[in-house]
Chains A and B, each alone.
Chain A
Amino acid sequence: MSTVEIKDLHKSFGSLEVLKGIDFTVETGQVVCVIGPSGSGKSTLLRCVNLLEQPTSGRVVVEGIELTDPDVDIDAARRRLGMVFQQFNLFPHLTVVRNIMIAQERVLKRKRAEAERIARENLEKVGLLEKADAYPAQLSGGQQQRVAIARALAMNPTLMLFDEPTSALDPELVGDVLGVMRQLAEDGMTMLVVTHEMAFAREVADRVVFMDQGVIVEDGPPQQVIGDPQHERTREFLRRVLHPGD
């Protein structure tokens, strides 16, 4: 069964059409990486999947539930979709462990003790158990992003969305975050990842989608899309990403 099905998705901001008819699926357990130049609509696509942006037209179906159906309880549906942002977006007024507990308690109605146990389990998973009582401002960017991943995981999502999770990090911190994501992929999590990390996409992704100017130009296994791209736009983009400064 596919976890995500997107059919003829369009999104406009005013007169600016950002997504011009997107079709694709993510099969359960797959890791799909979305690559493409800045401004091509990758973030908008991801945000349409969990309806942070309302699509102008088209269908988004997650686990058989059509999110674009106006009658659907979008808050309930979102609980099954974890999202990790480029800017981490941890809650600065809460400690790390409270960051991970608050939605469990307020949304899933878990008891405090249970929420805390699950929070600590997930902190251990991302290697930050010793930071449980720190505030986000006391952590490095890489640590904050790992906490953000733990926060999303604590909700038991069936799909994780990542929007350039390492783009705001100092280069030496990127590896830790990618390591956590790699482990997640090995554990069988279904993941949709917008990234510029070509090595990660090549090694971890089951499929790579190349987007440009609001359309999917190329969609296939990484050996093909990154290793042997069929379209000139893809080749041009990869040249710039893989050999910057040429």
Chain B
Amino acid sequence: MNSVSEQEAALPAKGGLSPRKRQQIGRGAQYAVLVVVVVALVAIADWEQIRQNFLNGDVAAKGLPDLFTVALKNTVIYTVCGYLLGFVLGLPLALMRLSQVAPYRWIATGYIEIFRGLPALVIFLMIINLPIAFPGFEVPGEVYGQAALGLGLVSAAYMAETFRAGLQAVPKGQMEAARSLGMPHLRAMVSIIIPQAVRIVIPPLTNQLVLLFKDSSLVLFLGLTAGQVELAKFGNDQASTYASPTPIFVAGVTYLLITIPLGYVARRLEARQGAGR
């Protein structure tokens, strides 16, 4: 069947349709499918129900101001703490990954493989059980510390790979120029190579911030008090209190308020860097 139509395409006179015409028909078909799907969805959906349940203004208003002063604030705190820890761990991991000393490379590679391979949720569940392995041990900062640890351990693995790519993207001549000026290797890394690598990785690191912002919702598995809730749990709790899914919808929109502009910034930075090279 397929091969027959291909043969026909090779013989334009026979079918009587020019390639241009075929393209027009193909596009028309795509629009037709789209219209059918939209019409069907509109017909099936119960708009009154949706308005009452998902867009209930009264319920949404009850979430204020805690939505911002507690939930969003905590989400930002968890994300930023995890991100900073990821940064602080990720950079040395990247340097270890590129080290001349083989065991450093093995350790870094092992870490990266494990923490990129595990679901973040599993890591959180392990953190909760940490005191079993180390009796009496507690992560400092309670839930905030545990959240930062869980998010930081995961993002460190991704950031390490990003930093490694950034370090390798700095031209070899930069290290040679620094060494020829008498700088020891470490000094050249700190003053010349790392500052350039950090600039290169700013766009991907911004994307990582977006990912982490979403992953911060996993801290709800740590068991949060009312003062510690973040957006997702806040939405879920309010939804059960008022027996309405509106708070979940509101929490979703609040995530997008942050993630969409951040993603936009990352793309702008990327485009600017692409143009500057």
> Interface of A with B (CB < 8 Å)?
50, 52, 75-76, 78-79, 81-83, 85, 87, 89-93, 102-103, 106-108, 137, 148, 151-152, 155
Tell me the bound Cα distance from A96 to B70 in angstroms.
48
Contact between B181 and A92 (Cβ–Cβ < 8 Å)?
no
The stretch that binds A, out of B40-48, B183-191, B241-249, is B183-191
Output the least CB separation between A112 and chain B (Å): 14
Known contacts being A93-B195, A93-B199, is A155 close to B182, with CB within 8 Å?
yes
Given contacts A87-B171, A137-B276, 6 further A-B contacts (CB under 8 A): A50-B180, A81-B180, A93-B199, A107-B183, A107-B187, A108-B182
Q: Is B271 an interface position by the 8 A CB rule?
A: no
Tell me the bound Cα distance from A206 to B199 in angstroms.
45
Known contacts being A102-B191, A106-B191, A107-B187, is A89 close to B182, with CB within 8 Å?
no
Contact between A106 and B180 (Cβ–Cβ < 8 Å)?
no
Known contacts being A91-B192, A92-B196, A93-B199, is A106 close to B183, with CB within 8 Å?
yes
Q: What residues of B have a CB within 8 angstroms of the CB of A91 in the complex?
A: 174, 177-178, 192, 196
Contact between B176 and A89 (Cβ–Cβ < 8 Å)?
yes
CB < 8 Å: which of A76, A87, A137, A152 contacts B181? Answer: A152
Q: Is B179 an interface position by the 8 A CB rule?
A: yes
Tell me the bound Cα distance from A92 to B196 in angstroms.
8
Tell me the bound Cα distance from A81 to B181 in angstroms.
8
Q: What residues of B have a CB within 8 angstroms of the CB of A75 in the complex?
A: 179, 182-184
Contact between A52 and B196 (Cβ–Cβ < 8 Å)?
no
22 A-B contacts, Cβ less than 8 Å apart? A52-B176, A52-B179, A75-B183, A78-B179, A78-B180, A79-B181, A81-B180, A82-B180, A83-B177, A83-B180, A87-B173, A89-B171, A89-B177, A91-B177, A91-B178, A91-B192, A103-B181, A106-B187, A106-B191, A137-B276, A152-B181, A155-B181
Output the least CB separation between B31 and chain A (Å): 47
CB-CB nearest in chain A for B277: A137
Output the least CB separation between B276 and chain A (Å): 8
Contact between A78 and B181 (Cβ–Cβ < 8 Å)?
yes
Output the least CB separation between B127 and chain A (Å): 38
Output the least CB separation between A1 and chain B (Å): 22
Contact between B174 and A76 (Cβ–Cβ < 8 Å)?
no
Q: What residues of A have a CB within 8 angstroms of the CB of B174 in the complex?
A: 89, 91
Contact between A85 and B181 (Cβ–Cβ < 8 Å)?
no
CB-CB nearest in chain B for A83: B180
CB-CB nearest in chain B for A90: B177
Output the least CB separation between B171 and chain A (Å): 8
Tell me the bound Cα distance from A135 to B271 in angstroms.
20
Q: What residues of B have a CB within 8 angstroms of the CB of A92 in the complex?
A: 196
Tell me the bound Cα distance from A92 to B174 in angstroms.
9
Q: What residues of B have a CB within 8 angstroms of the CB of A87 in the complex?
A: 171, 173
Tell me the bound Cα distance from A90 to B195 in angstroms.
14
Known contacts being A91-B192, A93-B195, A102-B191, is A85 close to B177, with CB within 8 Å?
yes
Output the least CB separation between A103 and chain B (Å): 4
Tell me the bound Cα distance from A90 to B176 in angstroms.
11
Q: What residues of A have a CB within 8 angstroms of the CB of B180 in the complex?
A: 50, 52, 78, 81-83, 152
Q: What residues of A have a CB within 8 angstroms of the CB of B195 in the complex?
A: 93
Tell me the bound Cα distance from A89 to B191 in angstroms.
15
Q: What residues of A have a CB within 8 angstroms of the CB of B178 in the complex?
A: 91, 103
Known contacts being A85-B173, A87-B173, A91-B174, is A107 close to B181, with CB within 8 Å?
yes
Output the least CB separation between A43 and chain B (Å): 11
Tell me the bound Cα distance from A108 to B187 in angstroms.
13
Output the least CB separation between A162 and chain B (Å): 12
